Amino acid sequence: LEDQYPASLFRLYLINTPRVFRLIWSLVAPWLDPDTVARIHILGGGDSVLQACLVDGVSPAALPPCAGGTAGQEPVADLI
């Protein structure tokens, strides 16, 4: 099945998720493909988001201020 539907997700960041979501994710993640799980990052708020994104090469200008970034009114596509 994976040969017919290759993964198109590069990375997914979920920030400021409620605890119940993290609990559900911990129950669901073992059933998913390890490559897919490695692409999904569930982060807290503030500096931890900024630090994790900087490690992965995401510019602070692409993150909203609530995630520790400096994004303004520029379109995100122009920042990546």
Q: Give the per-residue pLDDT at 30.
A: 94
Contact (CB, 8 A) for 36 and 25: no
Average pLDDT of the chain is: 75
Task: Please report which confidence band the pLDDT of residue 28 belongs to, taking 50, 70 and 90 as the band edges.
Answer: very high
H-type alpha helices, the chain:
19-28, 34-39, 47-55
pTM comes to 0.62
The predicted structure's pLDDT at residue 61: 77
* pLDDT band for position 31 (cuts 50, 70, 90): very high
